A and B are shown apart, each in its own frame.
Chain A
Amino acid sequence: MFDITAVKIGEKIKKGELSAVDVTVATIDRINALSGHYNEFITLDVQGAVAQAERVQKGIERGEFLSALAGVPFVVKDNICVKGMKMTCASKMLENFVSPYDATVITRLRKAGAIILGKTNMDEFAMGSTGENSYFGATLNPYDERRVAGGSSSGSAVAAALREGFYSLGTDTGGSIRQPCAYCGVTGIKTTYGVVSRYGLVAHASSLEQIGPMAVDAETCAAVLDLICGKDKFDSTTVDYNVEYLNSISNDIKGLKIGVLSESFSDKTDKTLGDNVLKVCDTLKYFGAQAEMFSMPITQYTLPAYYVISSAEASSNLARYDGVRYGLRSNFCNNIEELYVNSRSEGFGDEVKRRILLGTLVLSAGYYDDYYKLALRARETVKKAFEKAFEKYDVILSPTTPKVAPKINSIIKPIDMYFGDAYTVAVNLAGLPAVSFPCGFSDGLPTGAQLIGPAFSDAKLLNIVHQYQQITDYHKKTPECKKEGQV
């Protein structure tokens, strides 16, 4: 069953060849067999999932659930609200927090008959690029458990790689969907800003992030987008943009013009990884695409702009965690000041505190003009640079990351961790869509390629990857599991 992907499972359930309950129970069995060895789960709701499956199965038999993914179980990153379920954001601050409402994406998926299995591990409050910044411990890479799974959607990537659920929901602020996808050998997309609602996504950097699917292939991602995209009255930053994704991925890509980002093939990039990505061009040429190297110098400066903007917004977005109405409240508080300082200092991990401090500084009097305001301008420059590039090319190709998954505890300085985001943050700054997909291996570890498109070219990107995945099988590979139970 686990060699079959979400859309086909959905078809079989509709046809009556499989029941939603059987699929859900089998998935739960698989998860239990792997026993969260990679620490990919924070919450598993077995009873709830089975109950959902029973209800949905009955509905399907009555012809009520018509969507492609009705009856198909999935997992959710633990910073997306699921009503009645614990939502920790991998932080001590929200260790026991139960969400009183569903995120819009969850409401839509429930309505479509999707089955929620549980919440996955991540970097605390989505701040991190390795999956090591979790209050509940690091998430391990299923291809090599001495290595990180990537971040911040670490657990979602691992679950997708291990077929624990037929797709995962992740979030991407500066590469947090794409990078763990690359490290774990799965496919994921960060949509154009505003295409997916952020209502119910615990905010890290409001103007940069999107919820998105992570799964075995582009087809599954497209099917999920069909269910979660679209304007939401609860999120004023969503746009009125409707496209049928699943119906758009089988188009001809002849004449596609690919710009290969030369700056991403520097000496900082692993050789094998770089070669694997370049080979993508060869594969795509088979479909009639053309590729050429080009330079976009701006990408070298995007990291500071990203960190200033994201930490500034984060410092404000995380100020609500003060112990007053919910969340951790310190036992040591004689007055309100102590309540604030002690609760926040006890509740937040180091990286979170670091970002809050940085964000607080860049917004404060005396620094605002020199850093935050400058970063906003830099952002405009990045947007313009992409617009110019897309006058010449249809899509831009680069490695998703400069290297394969690093070893656990190998990154000591925060600043070194930030460099891992080099090729992904520019996309968030510009609000553009980007897909990461597996394009080979380097010493047994997955390598990921990234395709970036102009605004609202999400369907087209998935189209390209889907075609690529028709004639390659990197996405079909699964890690050899290290625990009892077969893969």
Chain B
Amino acid sequence: MKINAEVFEYASKLAKLKFSQADAAKEMENLKDIAVFVEGLKEIPDTLPEQTERREPGAKLREDVSGVPFERETLMENSSDNDGELFIVPQTI
């Protein structure tokens, strides 16, 4: 996994994170170390097919019976901006 400025910026953009130039440089170095460390994955011998191809026991499905929803007030308690009915964010395209 090559870590360069382009890759770093791509990941930051996807993850909605930003860094100051100094921090970005520092984190890139850290990520480079981690990337080398992660390459160790390729050294694992005799890898088997991935877990998801195995037939594990299936999910127990939930019965389609209504529960009681939470109070709107409770759900909005922790929000930064709302008008009592709807959550508010700045303009979205």
Contacts and interface: CB of A to CB of B under 8 A. Distances in A.
Q: Do chains A and B touch in the complex (CB under 8 A)?
A: yes
Interface of A: 96-98, 100-101, 233, 236, 298, 301, 303-305, 307-308, 315, 319, 322-327, 329, 333-342, 344-345, 348, 350, 353-354, 356-358, 360-362, 364, 367, 370-371, 373-381, 384, 413-415, 418
Interface of B: 1, 7-8, 10-12, 14-19, 27, 30-31, 33-34, 37-52, 54, 59-60, 62, 70, 74-75, 77-81, 87, 89-93
Nearest to A305: B41
A418 B35 CA distance: 13
A323 B80 contact: yes
B38 A371 contact: yes
Contact of B78 (A97, A378, A381): A97
Nearest to A94: B78
A381 B8 CA distance: 31
B41 A301 contact: yes
Summarize A's interface: helix, strand, loop or mixed. Answer: helix
Contacts of B46: 381
A87 to B, nearest CB: 10
Contact of A100 (B41, B49, B77): B77
A376 B50 contact: yes
B91 A335 contact: yes
A315 B50 contact: no
25 contacts: A96-B78, A301-B43, A301-B44, A304-B37, A304-B39, A324-B87, A326-B78, A329-B81, A335-B92, A336-B93, A340-B16, A341-B16, A350-B27, A354-B30, A356-B15, A357-B17, A360-B11, A360-B15, A362-B1, A367-B1, A374-B44, A376-B50, A377-B44, A381-B48, A414-B34
Nearest to B10: A364
Contacts of A378: 41, 44, 47
Given A345-B17, A414-B33, A335 B78 contact: no
B37 A303 contact: yes
Contacts of B8: 357
A307 B34 contact: yes
A108 to B, nearest CB: 19
A307 B48 contact: no
B25 to A, nearest CB: 13
* Residue among A301, A303, A304 with the highest chain B CB neighbour number at 10 A: A304
Nearest to A328: B80
B78 A236 contact: no
B14 A324 contact: no
A284 B46 CA distance: 35
| A-B pairs with lowest CB-CB distance, top 10 | A326-B78, A329-B80, A377-B47, A376-B50, A340-B16, A304-B40, A336-B92, A380-B48, A360-B15, A301-B44
Contacts of A354: 27, 30-31, 34
B52 A376 contact: yes
Nearest to A413: B33
B12 A357 contact: yes
B67 to A, nearest CB: 10
B51 A379 contact: yes
